[in-house]
Amino acid sequence: MCVIRKCAVSFSLMLASLSAYAELPASVADALKKVGIPQQSVAIYVQAVEGSNPILEHNSDKSLNPASVMKLVTTNAALELLTPTYRWKTEVYRDGEVVFDKLNNGNLQGNLIIKGYGDPNFRAQELWRLLMSLQQAGIKGIDGDLVIDKSYFAKNIGNRKAFDDETWRAYNAEPSAFLVNGRNTSFKLNSTGSLVNISQEFALPEVQIINNMKLTQGACGAWRNRFSYTVSPNNNGATVTFNGTFSPDCGERYLELSLFDDERYAFYTFKKLWRELGGKFNGSLKVQEMPSIAIKVVEQVSDPLGYVVRDINKWSNNLMARQLLLTIAAEVSGPPATEAKGSMVIKNWLATKGLKFDELVIENGSGLSRIERISAGHLGQMLVSTYHGAVMPEMMASMPILSKDGTVMGRLKDSRSKGRAHLKTGSIDGVSAIAGYVLDANNHRHVLVMMVNHTKAAESKNAQDALIEWVHQQP
């Protein structure tokens, strides 16, 4: 006969084992089996937001790589810690006097200084607006240099190895306290007549294109696999050479590359826009902290965080998520920001909510990582907690709507669940994940998390869709 305490422990272990390997819905199990993904490589957590216990758990305590689903943790923390009304600022200073001529055009006899605070959505049009404000403040010419102050983020930010061999792809760009256009050069490909056209969406004169593309007929299909590009940097910019074929059936397609570091991209964009606005500048670029004697000229603020998180989650923008993690670090722990500071802030924030995630590993907050980890159960518990919190409307609105927009636009279009789920996806080699909220046929909302870590993870989409359908059909 066993001692009562030992029997209780044994029974608890048995229950934990049953929970860890709960029987999956037949449709989900069949979809996994069909593509050869073992159930031990899958973690699932489903709970009604008004319920106190999950209705389905499978490996829910297993620490797995979530890929871009990690953005839900980062954006949720940001919305609560910074509030949805938070705005980034970008400041412009001068370190010399402004001398006016007879036409009241001001000439700055000194350097122009831009101090960035990590705005993840500072596009070329935002820089144009900032420079227009500068000219309206009276500065039309600059005798000195352009100084960029990036001290809000730590100096080692932006000196990491690329995530994969696609060194020039935009998703591999590193964060910066002064990030313009995400350092993104977008190439548009289309065809007219017998020609393949390649152009820049925002054309920088420092980028030269060599177009060796040939037109081919047939379905668009895997269009990206039919051509290659080579980037040749030089002292005055970069040359991009395109070789391969392109079909008219593709219409317009885009390739996003990051050809320059954050400093040079910002400098090239500044020169282009300043001259288009009629300003005069012949100086060079300096990257350093601004002097104490600098005088502020103008300040510009971003859209509120509640809007910005939509771009991060709906289209899974890695660089913006990384900027957000560093912003959390700087605002809560103080500058200069580091990823380690941001990770600690998020863990402390979770702890204040009674959510202690010992397995949580945050490298950069975007999910573009081989070491980031979280369990399906803990992610699900965070989403349940979020649903009952103050920032639920902004958080849910930031997530893609099933079959309607974002990264789930094309999924389950013929299903009754279309438009009734807000779901964030994640995918890197060997990882596929989906998480968010699903409204069932009786208008009861559930949290759903499914993560797959396996060499065939990319083939788990049908199993994920089957789980969404199963949740939607709950009584």
DSSP 292: T
What per-residue confidence (pLDDT) applies to 5?
A: 40
What per-residue confidence (pLDDT) applies to 11?
A: 44
What per-residue confidence (pLDDT) applies to 18?
A: 44
* Edge-first strand listing for the sheet containing 253-257: 195-200, 185-192, 253-257
DSSP 126: H
Q: How far apart are CA 198 and CA 214, in angstroms?
A: 12
By the 10 Å C-beta count (0-12 exposed, 13-18 middle, 19+ buried), 43 is classed as buried
Task: Give the Cβ contact number of residue 283 at 10 Å.
Answer: 15
* Edge-first strand listing for the sheet containing 112-116: 285-287, 146-149, 112-116, 89-94, 295-301
> At a CB cut-off of 8 Å and minimum separation 6, what does 26 contact?
none
What per-residue confidence (pLDDT) applies to 156?
A: 80
Q: Is the pTM of this model over 0.85?
A: yes
Check: CB of residue 357 under 8 Å from CB of residue 378: yes
Give me 56's structure tokens.
């389905």
DSSP symbols for 253-284: EEEEE--S-HHHHHHHHHHHHHHHTT-EE---
SS3 120: coil
Task: Give the Cβ contact number of residue 317 at 10 Å.
Answer: 22
Task: Give the Cβ contact number of residue 232 at 10 Å.
Answer: 11
Check: CB of residue 375 under 8 Å from CB of residue 43: yes
pLDDT tens, per residue, the chain with 475 residues: 444 444 444 444 344 444 445 689 999 999 999 999 999 999 999 999 999 999 999 999 999 999 999 999 999 999 999 999 999 999 999 999 999 887 768 999 999 999 999 999 999 999 999 999 999 999 999 999 999 999 999 998 755 666 777 889 988 889 999 999 999 999 999 999 999 999 999 999 999 999 999 999 999 999 999 999 999 999 999 999 999 999 999 999 999 999 999 999 999 999 999 999 999 999 999 999 999 999 999 999 999 999 999 999 999 999 999 999 999 999 999 999 999 999 999 999 999 999 999 999 999 999 999 999 999 999 999 999 999 999 999 999 999 999 999 999 989 999 999 999 999 999 999 999 999 999 999 999 999 999 999 999 999 999 999 999 999 999 8
Which residue is listed with tokens 């144009």? 128
> At a CB cut-off of 8 Å and minimum separation 6, what does 211 contact?
196, 197, 198, 242
Q: How far apart are CA 464 and CA 450, in angstroms?
A: 7
Backbone angles phi, psi at 177, to 5 degrees: -70, -25
